[in-house]
A and B are shown apart, each in its own frame.
Chain A
Amino acid sequence: MSRFRPEIERYAAARVAANARVHGLSGSAEYDDEVRDRAVFSVEAGLSFFHTHAEGVGLILFFGSTLVASAVPWRRARAALYLAFTVGALFPLGYLVYGAAVLAAGRDAGIELAERWVLTPLGGAAIVGLVGLALALAVRGKME
Chain B
Amino acid sequence: MSPDSRPPLQWRLPPVPVLLTAVVLIVCAEVGGASMVRFKLELTRWARQAMLERPGTHGLVGVRDVDERVLDEALVKFDAGLRLFHLHAEGMGLVIIATATVAATLAGSPASRRPIIALLTVGGAGYPLGYLLWSGLIPYYGPDRGKTIAEWLVWIPFGGATIVALWWLAGLVAWQMVRRERA
Interface residues of A (CB under 8 A from B): 56, 59-60, 63-64, 67, 70-71, 115, 119-120, 123, 126-127, 130-131, 133-134, 137-138, 140-141, 144
> Main SS of chain A's interface residues?
helix
For residue A53, which residue of chain B has the nearest CB?
Answer: B33
In the complex, chain B residues whose CB is within 8 Å of the CB of A63: 94, 97-98
How many chain-B residues does the 8 Å CB contact rule pick out? 21
In the complex, the number of residue pairs spanning A and B with C-beta atoms less than 8 Å apart equals 51
A131 and B27 contact, CB distance less than 8 A: yes
For residue B34, which residue of chain A has the nearest CB?
Answer: A123
- Determine if B174 is an interface residue (Cβ-Cβ < 8 Å): no
B34 and A71 contact, CB distance less than 8 A: no
A60 and B26 contact, CB distance less than 8 A: yes
> Main SS of chain B's interface residues?
helix
In the complex, chain A residues whose CB is within 8 Å of the CB of B16: 71, 137, 140-141, 144
A127 to B13, CA, bound (A): 23
Q: Give the contacting residue for A67; candidates B17, B23, B27, B30; CB below 8 A.
A: B23
A134 and B98 contact, CB distance less than 8 A: no
Interface residues of B (CB under 8 A from A): 13, 16-17, 19-20, 23-24, 26-27, 30-31, 33-34, 37, 87, 90-91, 93-94, 97-98
Chain B's nearest CB lies how many Å from the CB of A42? 13
In the complex, chain B residues whose CB is within 8 Å of the CB of A71: 13, 16, 19
A127-B19 CB under 8 A given contacts A60-B26, A63-B94, A71-B13? no
Add 12 more A-B contacts to A115-B37, A127-B31, A130-B27 (CB < 8 A). Answer: A60-B26, A60-B94, A63-B98, A67-B19, A70-B13, A71-B16, A127-B34, A137-B16, A137-B20, A138-B20, A141-B16, A141-B20
